[in-house]
Amino acid sequence: MNPERIQFQKYEDKVISAHQAAAFFKDKMVVGSSGFTKAGDSKAVLPAFALRAEHEDIGITLITGASLGHTTDADLARTNALYKRMPFQVDPVMRGKINNGEILFIDQHLSETAELLENKHLAQLDFAIIEATYIDTNGHIIPTTSVGNSATFAHLANKIIIEINTSIPFEFKGIHDIFIPTHYPNRDVINITASDDRIGSDVIRIDPDKVVGIVFTEIPDSPAQTTAPDAKTTAIANHLLAFFEKEIQSGRLTKSLMPLQAGIGKVANAVLSGLAKGDFENLVMYSEVLQDSTFELMDTGKMTFASASSITVSESCYQHLLNNFDQYKDKIVLRPQNISNSAEVIRRLGIIGINTAIEFDIYGNVNSTHISGTKMMNGIGGSGDFARNAYLSIFVTQSASKDGNAISHVLPMVSHTDHTEHDVDILVTEQGLADLRGLAPRERAKVIIENCAHPEYREQLQDYYNRASERGGHTPHILEEAFNFHTRYLETGTMKQNCLATYEG
């Protein structure tokens, strides 16, 4: 018992080991666990369950906020501890099991999981596992570095296991804003009209009778991998920054832009870092994840506030934050992911959403999830939540990759569609930026090929488009050739066509 971390007497006898907690689960149970982009995840109970599954024929359905940290998803996958997994993951071992059909993965909009659970469109949760900074005198939970779906899990699960993480300072109390829209048919408005609005409680309220175990850990979050900007990411960032400047000159945007959302990754980080150098002021974020660049922008005074569902930063940034938390505490808020990614709030605030594509096509459709149309990479995450409702929906990727630019990321037709052309405003590669606003498909093809495609692929793409448009159609295609880039790569190791002349002749 640790009276500072457990301030609620009724829980006195609830402290157990991770091993004991993991023993609660029965085969085919449904477990919801905290954890969003590696932040605030279960560091004791889920790993203990993976160990248990190593020697026992048992599996669960695991629902999280988003990706887990450390090797938890890998361990669970390797020991066959999961039947089903949702709504997001980024682990190579798990990805392998998903792609060979051993783990059934449901790739969901991050805003939607809570909705589906509340509507009972997913199975009843048997257990919730929630990482906590501490438990207050009412038995309620002060979360840690993420909120994710924790409030919904705690609300709906039959039983709750709390993981108290003593590495998180008490000062975290107050940065969370927990709001769950009440039930149908009379649900509340999500009354956020600015990034820094608070509409809920700073604790996750729970029914103390549901708590069956409290486990202590002191393991910090997995650090985010940060990569220094390279020539390509810098070029992408610069195209986008030049576009913002132009929008400011046209009077459509001010120097404060609009609230920013950025997916995780080196391009998004490069863009945000670029903002620190440009002539911007009073920037705010309304995003899913607070990254290193968020805090850099605050340090330069350019960013005044940031709202998200988690803090996912590098090891050095994490230590700096924990040691200087008072500097940032009033400038951030962490919300449930159905609020951070709420369609309602995103459209109302007019978010500029910047997300990474795996590939996009000459008409502006975007694939965020599948390699060659079949293999799951990570999942759609929140990109759809933001892209559909954003003031500006921006997707970034490199124009080509692999040795000799064997893969073009600009294609005749995407091999899997996550974001339709209806929802995509701006595409950027290191080659340039395509502004698709107000353009019909045939106009889109021209600017995408000219501005975004790698020079080594422009002729091939143009040739496809020319021949397709001769056949007619609103969105000209030649179905028997639409995936030739992909199949050529699988067959020959490059998407490049050697004999274009035969088509042209």
Residues 461-480 that bind a copy of itself (CB under 8 A): 468-469, 471-477, 479-480
Site stretch for a copy of itself (CB under 8 A), options 3-11, 152-160, 310-318, 486-494? 486-494
Closest CA to 157 of 238, 299, 62, 51: 62
Q: Is 284 annotated as belonging to a binding site?
A: no
Place of tokens 């919904």: 152
Q: Which is nearer to a copy of itself, 33 or 365 (CB)?
A: 365
Q: Which is nearer to a copy of itself, 123 or 500 (CB)?
A: 123
Taking residues 263 to 302 in sequence order and writing x for each that binds a copy of itself by CB under 8 A, - otherwise, the string is: ----------------------------------------
Return the beta strands (E) in 266-331 as ranges: 283-286, 289-290, 303-308, 310-311
- Is 288 labeled as catalytic in the residue annotation? yes
Site stretch for a copy of itself (CB under 8 A), options 72-80, 151-159, 412-420, 496-504? 412-420
The answer to whether residues 264 and 378 touch, using CB atoms and an 8 Å cutoff, is no
348 forms part of the interface with a copy of itself (CB under 8 A)? yes
Tokens of 399: 């124009």
Which is it for the CA torsion 450, 454, 455, 457, positive or negative?
Answer: negative
189 forms part of the interface with a copy of itself (CB under 8 A)? yes
Q: Is 32 annotated as belonging to a binding site?
A: no
Count of alpha carbons within 13 angstroms of residue 21, beta-carbon side: 30
**Minimum distance of a copy of itself from residue 148's CB (angstroms):** 18
Contacting a copy of itself within 241-260 (CB under 8 A)? 252, 258
Among 340, 425, 449, 460, binds a copy of itself (CB under 8 A): 425
Q: Report DSSP letters for 41-99, one per residue.
A: --SSHHHHHHHHHHSS---EEEE-SS---TTHHHHHHHTT-EEEEES----HHHHHHHH
**Minimum distance of a copy of itself from residue 7's CB (angstroms):** 36
**Minimum distance of a copy of itself from residue 181's CB (angstroms):** 7
Closest CA to 291 of 237, 332, 330, 329: 332
Q: Is 264 annotated as belonging to a binding site?
A: yes
Q: Is 382 annotated as belonging to a binding site?
A: yes
Taking residues 157 to 176 in sequence order and writing x for each that binds a copy of itself by CB under 8 A, - otherwise, the string is: --------------------
Contacting a copy of itself within 86-125 (CB under 8 A)? 98-101, 104-109, 112, 115-116, 119-123
Beta bridge partners of 289: 310
For 431, the 3-state DSSP assignment is coil
Contacting a copy of itself within 428-447 (CB under 8 A)? 437-440, 442-443
Q: How many residues bind a copy of itself (CB under 8 A)?
A: 80
185 forms part of the interface with a copy of itself (CB under 8 A)? yes
CA 207 – CA 155 distance, rounded (Å): 8
Q: What is the dihedral of CA 500, 501, 504, 505, to 10 degrees?
A: -150
Tokens of 329: 């505490």
Neighbours of 39 (CB within 10 A): 32
Taking residues 203 to 232 in sequence order and writing x for each that binds a copy of itself by CB under 8 A, - otherwise, the string is: ------------------------------
**Minimum distance of a copy of itself from residue 119's CB (angstroms):** 6
Site stretch for a copy of itself (CB under 8 A), options 145-153, 159-167, 295-303, 336-344? 336-344
Site stretch for a copy of itself (CB under 8 A), options 135-143, 184-192, 289-297, 456-464? 184-192
Site stretch for a copy of itself (CB under 8 A), options 18-26, 168-176, 199-207, 345-353? 345-353
Q: Distance between alpha carbon 398 and the CA centroid of its chain, in Å?
A: 19
CA 432 – CA 410 distance, rounded (Å): 12
505 forms part of the interface with a copy of itself (CB under 8 A)? no
Tokens of 118: 């509340």
Size of the chain, expressed as the number of residues it contains: 505
Q: Distance between alpha carbon 3 and the CA centroid of its chain, in Å?
A: 36
Q: Is 353 annotated as belonging to a binding site?
A: no
DSSP assigned state of 443: H
Q: Report DSSP letters for 104-142, one per residue.
A: EE----TTHHHHHHHTT-SPPPSEEEEEESEE-TTS-EE
Q: Which is nearer to a copy of itself, 44 or 427 (CB)?
A: 427
335 forms part of the interface with a copy of itself (CB under 8 A)? no
310 forms part of the interface with a copy of itself (CB under 8 A)? no
The answer to whether residues 311 and 290 touch, using CB atoms and an 8 Å cutoff, is yes
Count of alpha carbons within 13 angstroms of residue 152, beta-carbon side: 32
CA 431 – CA 427 distance, rounded (Å): 11
Among 266, 416, 454, 496, binds a copy of itself (CB under 8 A): 416
Neighbours of 487 (CB within 10 A): 13
Q: Is 267 annotated as belonging to a binding site?
A: yes
Taking residues 360 to 389 in sequence order and writing x for each that binds a copy of itself by CB under 8 A, - otherwise, the string is: -----x----x-xxxxx---x---x---xx
Return the beta strands (E) in 127-282 as ranges: 127-132, 134-135, 141-142, 159-165, 211-217, 260-262
Taking residues 32 to 71 in sequence order and writing x for each that binds a copy of itself by CB under 8 A, - otherwise, the string is: ----------------------------------------
**Minimum distance of a copy of itself from residue 84's CB (angstroms):** 7
Q: Which of 112, 288, 359, 430 is catalytic?
A: 288
For 482, the 3-state DSSP assignment is coil
Binding-site annotation: residue ranges: 263-267, 358, 378, 382, 402
- Please identify every residue annotated as catalytic: 288
Binding-site annotation: residue ranges for CoA: 263-267, 358, 378, 382, 402
